[in-house]
Amino acid sequence: MTREASGAAADKVGRRSGAMVAERQHAKPAARSGVMADEDGDSDKFEEEEWDDDAQSQRGGARQSRQAKWGDCFMILMYIFETYLDIRQHRALKLPTLPKPLVGVISGEKFERSRAYSLDKSKFHFIHEAVTILMDTTILYYRVLPWVWKKSGELATNAGLNAENEILHTLAFLAGVMIWSQITDLPFSLYSTFVIEAKHGFNKQTIWLFIRDMIKGILLSILLGPPIVAAIIIIVQNGGSYLAIYLWGFMFALSLVMMTIYPIVIAPLFNKFTPLPEGVLREKIEKLAASLSFPLKKLFVVDGSTRSSHSNAYMYGFFKNKRIVLYDTLIQQCSSEDEIVSVIAHELGHWKLNHTVYSFVAVQLLMFLQFGGYTLVRNSKDLFESFGFEDQPVIIGLIIFQADAFAKNLGYAPQLRAALVKLQEENLSAMNTDPCLQAPMLSLSTPSSPPPPLPPRRATTAPTPVSLLRGAADRRDAPLTSALHAALLKSGALDRTQPLTASNSLLHAYLQCGLLSDALRLLDEMPRRDAATCASLVSALCRLGAPLDAIRAYMDMLTQDADDEDGGLRPNEFTAAALLQACGLAKVARLGRMVHGHLVTSGFCCDPFVVGSLVNTYAKVGDVVSAEKLLLGMDSRDVVSWTAQLSGCVLNGMLAEALKVFVMMLEDNVLPNNVTMLSVIQACSLMGESGLFSSLHALVVRLGLENDVSVVNSLIIMYAKNGFVEVATGLFEDLYLRRGDVCPNSDVLSALLFGCTVSGSLKYGKGIHAHLIKMNDLPSISIENSLMGMYARFEQVDAAYVVFKGMQIKDIVSWNTMISCLAKSDHVDEALELFSILHGGDGLVPDFVTVLSVVQACSNAGLLQQGQMLHGYIIKSGSLYDVSICNALISMYAKLGRIDFSEQIFEQMDIKDIVSWNSMINAYGIHGDGLSSLRIFNELQDDGTCSPNAITFVSVISACSHSGLVSEGYRCFQSMKNDYGIEPSMDHYASVVDLLGRSGRFAEAEQFIRNMPVHPNSSIWGPLLAACSLYGNIDLAEKAAIELSILEPESDIWRVSLSNVYAVVGRWKDSAKIRTEMKRVGLKKEAGWSFVDVGGVEGFKFVAADTRHGDSEQIYAVLRSMNKHMADVAGDVHQSSLVSVIS
C-alpha cells in the first residue's frame, strides 16, 4: 500500500514536472548570431536577419499557439478518459455488498468502514484531478513556463549570477517550480491527511509534525537536487551520440546510491528505527530467514504509528547485508507472531523467486529505452514549442519519461495475490473494483503461469514435535500435549545436551492447557532453564491470578540455577516484562521497587521496553510519582508508556494528575490511541468536568475513533452519569439504533438508565426500554433492575411491575427494588404480599435491604401488628439484626406510639451510630418528652463514640419546641456552632422560630428572623404563621402571610392558616373572604385524615366528622368523654384552642 501510494505520487509529480521544467539548448538563436556577426562589421546582414527574425517570430508564434491548443486538447482528452475510469470505479465502490470471494471472510462492519474510506478518497481524487487539469491547462495555454524561465534568468542576473550558465539558470527555474508545487499541493495534502485519513482513524500526526516533515523534505531537495540536476545537464551537453548510455549509467549509479543511503540516512530523519527485541517473534523470523538462506543482518521496528495506523513491512540491502523492517502498526494489528511471520514470508518469497532482480532489470531496461527515445526527440523544435519554449531546454523531455520509470520503480513489487484478511480490514482496503480496472490490476498481481514453488525446507515440510506442541497449545489440547511429552522423552529431545526449544514448547503447552501441576513437574525435571522458560511460567501464573506465586517461581529459578556451568538463568527484557506484570497485578509497591532494583543490577533499565513496563507497574501499584520520574527520564516516550502513566493515575483516583499527564503527552507530540482516550474520558467523567466533555468528544472525532465501540461507550457513560442524557442518547442512537449490528453492553445501558433517573428524563428512559423490547434483548438482570428503579423514581408503579413480572430470573435486588417501589408509592399491602412470597420461596431469602423497606412501609402505614411480626422475624433470623434495621425499628415504634419498644431496642444495641442517637432523640420529641430528648443528647455527648451532627440539633431543638423548653432549645442552637462548628441551615433556623413561636415569644422570633444571615424562606414564615393562630397575633400573622404570598403565591397552606387566625380573633368576614378567594382561583384544601389499625388486620383512614365506620357512635362517645376530661384538667382556654384546631 505504501509503495503504491508513493508510486502514484511520483507519477503525478513527474508528469507535472515534465510539463514545467526546462533547460536551454546548446545552439544560440539566429538573432544572437546576427549580433555577433554585426560586431565584425556586417551591419546589413544584421538588419536583414533581424527582419527575417521578426517574420519567423510571427509565424512561430502562430504555430506555437496552435500546438499549445493541441497540447491542451490532448491533456483534456486524457483527463476525460481517466475520469471515465474513475467514475466507473466510484460506482463499484458504492456497491453495498462484498465480492463473493470475500463473503464470510471480511466482517460487515469492516466492509462498511472500508467502503466509506474508499468513497471519501474517490471523491477527493475527483476534486484534486479537476483542479490539477485546470492548472496544467492554464499553464500550458498561457505559456506560463516560458515566463517562469525568463523570470528565473532575470532573478539569477539580479542576484549577480551568470544567467547564461545553463546549470544556474535551471536551478533557479526549478526553485520556482518547487515553490509553486508546494503552495498548490499543500491544501490537498492537509485535507487528505487531517480530514480524510483522520476521519477514518489512520492519521496519527499533529500539524506540527506534518510541517516538520515538510520542511525536512524541502531541505533534502535543496541538498540533493542541485548536484543531480547539474550532473544531468553536463551529461546532456556533452553526451553526444552515446547520451542514452551515459544517462542510463548515471541513473543506475544514482539508484544504487539512493537505495543504499535512503534507509540508513534519509528514512531515520522521519522515523525512529529500533532493533526488534529478542523473543519469540525475532526467533521465528530469524529461523525462517535461515531456512531460505536469506542473509539477514538486522531486524528493525519503525514507529509508523506516529504518523499513520497503516501497516507495512519491507526489506532492503545488497548482497549479504539484508535488513527487514516491520511497522509497529503491523505488530499491533496482528494477533499472533505467526501472522507477522507470514507477512515476512511473503516478502521473502519475492526475494527467493528473484522477483526483485527481475523487476530491477526490467526497470533498468525500460529506463535505457526511454533515454534512447529522448535522444531521438530532444532536437525536435516543434515538441518544445508546443510547451511554449522557443528554445529546446535539455531537462524538459528527460524528466517526463524518468517520472514514469521512477513511479514504476517505487511500485515494482507484484501486488499480494491474497492479502492477509486482518491487514485488509485494518487498512480499509477497497473491496470492490470496476471490471475495466480489475483486469490490468490482476495482470500486475497474477502471473500468467503459476510461480515456481519455493525450495523444500526439511525443517518445516513435515510436522515436528515442536510445531505440534504449538498447535496443541493454541487449541489447549491436553491429551495431545501429554502424548507429545511421552514422544519427546522417548526421542531424547528433552536431554540436557539438546536445545531448550522442545522443553520450553512443552512447558508452554502445559500452561496453556491449564495443567499447572504437570508444568511444575516438567520444570523440576528440566536440567536447564533459559529466559523463555521463565517468561512462560511467570506469564502463565499471572494469567491464572497468582502474581505472588509468579514472582516466587522466578526467584526460585534464579536461585536454583545460579550454580550451573553456564552461569544459570539470564533474564531478558521479556522475562523482565513478565515479572513486572506480576508486580503490577500483586499491587504491592515494595515488591515492585525490589524488582526494579533487581532489574537495575541485571542491566535492563536502559531498555525502553523494560522502562515502559516499569512505568506501568509503578502506576498500577499506586506509586505514580516514581512512574512519572521514569517516564520523563525516557529518551523516547511512546503512546504505550504515556497511557500506562495516565491509566495508573485514574486507577488510583488521581484524576487531576491524569489530566495533567494527558496534556504533557500532547505537548510531547504523541497522539493518544483508543486506550488512552478511555482513561481520559473516565477521569473527566469521575471529576464531573463538564466543560471538557465537548473538547474530548471533538478529539475523539479528530482521531477517527468515532466508530470505536469502546470509546463511544465511554462517551455515552460520561455524558449519562453527569446528566447530559440528551447527548448520551444521541450517541446511543447513532451507534446502536441506526446501525443495528452492534448490541449495547450492560455498562452503557446502566449508565443511561441512571442518567435518565437522576435527571428526570423519563422520556429517554422509555425510549431505551422500547429499543430493548424491539431487539428482544434485555442483556442482564442488572439492566432490568435499573429499569425498575427508573420507573420507581418516577412513581410509575405499573410499568415497574410489568418489568418485574416479565423477568425470567430475579435476584434479591429485583425483589428489593419492587418492594421498595410499592412501599414508597403507598401500595403497602402489595409490598407486604411480595415480602411474604419472597420469604416463603425456596431460593432467595430477604436481606437487610428488603427488611428495611418493609419496616419503613409498616411505619408509614401505621401497621403496628405487622411491624411487630416483622420485628420477630428479624430477631429469629439473627443475621439481619444490624444497626440500620434497629434504627428503623426505633423510628417505627415511636411513630406507632410504642415509645417503650423504642427505648428497649435502643438500650439493647451494642453498637450505636449517630443515626441511632438521632432516632431516639426524635422519638422522644414526637411524644412531647423534651426532657428525655435532652437526656439522650447529653448521653451522646458523654459517650464519645459519635459526635452530634446537623440532624441531631434539628431533632433536639424540635423536641424542646414541642415540650416548651425554650431556654434549653436555644442553648442547643448556640452550642451547635460554638462547640461543634456546625453552620446552621434553614432547618435549624426554622426550628428556633417554631420554638419561640410556640411559646408566644413573637418579639424574639421577629428579632431572630431579622438577624438571620440568610434570607428567610417559607420554612421560616410558615411555623411563625401557625404559632400566631394559637395566640391570635393578627398583626404578625398578616405580615407572615404577605411574605408567604410572595414566596408561594399558588399555595393554599398559608391561606388556610391565615383564615384560622381570623377565625380565632372573631374576624369571620375576613376568614370567609379568604376561603371565597381560594374557591375563585381554584385552590382547594385537602382534607386532613388519620389512619388507625383496627384489630391488627386492616387499616382505616378517616377524616373529621367521619361517620362511615360501623362503630362510629361508640367512637364519638369515647371522644366526647376525652374532651370533657381534658376540659376539666386544662380549662376552657385550652379547650377552645383544641376546638379551633380540630375545626
Q: What residues are designated binding site for Zn(2+)? A: 346, 350
Whole-angstrom distance, CA of residue 116 vs CA of residue 813: 45
The single-letter code of the amino acid at 1018 is S
Whole-angstrom distance, CA of residue 715 vs CA of residue 1061: 58
DSSP 796: -
Cell numbers describing residue 301: 521496528
Q: SS3 breakdown of the chain: % helix, strand, coil, rounded to 5?
A: 70, 5, 25
Note whether 258 and 228 are within 8 A (CB).
no
Note whether 388 and 140 are within 8 A (CB).
yes
The number of angstroms, rounded, from the C-alpha of 137 to the middle of its chain's C-alpha atoms is 47
* Alpha-carbon distances of 350 from 355, 356, 365, 410, rounded to whole Å: 5, 6, 20, 15
* Alpha-carbon distances of 577 from 530, 560, 584, rounded to whole Å: 15, 21, 10
Note whether 386 and 71 are within 8 A (CB).
yes
Cell numbers describing residue 79: 483527463
Whole-angstrom distance, CA of residue 316 vs CA of residue 348: 11
The 3-state secondary structure of 530-559, one letter per residue: CHHHHHHHHHHHHHCCCHHHHHHHHHHHHH
Q: Which of 999, 984, 993, 1035 is nearest to 1018 (CA)?
A: 993
Whole-angstrom distance, CA of residue 1077 vs CA of residue 1062: 15
Element housing 202 (H / E): none
The number of angstroms, rounded, from the C-alpha of 927 to the middle of its chain's C-alpha atoms is 58
What is the C-alpha R_g of the chain? 45
Task: Give the burial string for 665-698 (b: 16+ CB within 10 Å, else e).
Answer: beeeebbbbbbbbbbbbbbbbeeebeebbeebbe
Whole-angstrom distance, CA of residue 304 vs CA of residue 310: 8
The single-letter code of the amino acid at 52 is D
Q: What angle do CA 1012, 1015, 1018 make, to 5 degrees?
A: 105
Overall residue count recorded for the chain in this entry: 1143
Whole-angstrom distance, CA of residue 526 vs CA of residue 590: 32
| Beta bridge partner(s), residue 1101 | 1091
In terms of DSSP bridges, do strands 322-327 and 313-316 run parallel, antiparallel, or are they unpaired?
Answer: antiparallel
DSSP string, 350-403: HHHTTHHHHHHHHHHHHHHHHHHHHHHHTT-HHHHHTTT-SS--SHHHHHHHHH
Note whether 934 and 960 are within 8 A (CB).
yes
Note whether 613 and 587 are within 8 A (CB).
no
Cell numbers describing residue 869: 411480626
- Known catalytic residues are 347, 404
Element housing 452 (H / E): none
| Tally: H helices and E strands in the chain | 57, 6
- Taking the alpha carbons at both ends of the chain, their separation in whole angstroms is 91
Among positive and negative, which fits the CA dihedral 386, 392, 395, 399? positive
Q: Which of 318, 328, 343 is nearest to 264 (CA)?
A: 318
The three-state secondary structure class of 508 is helix
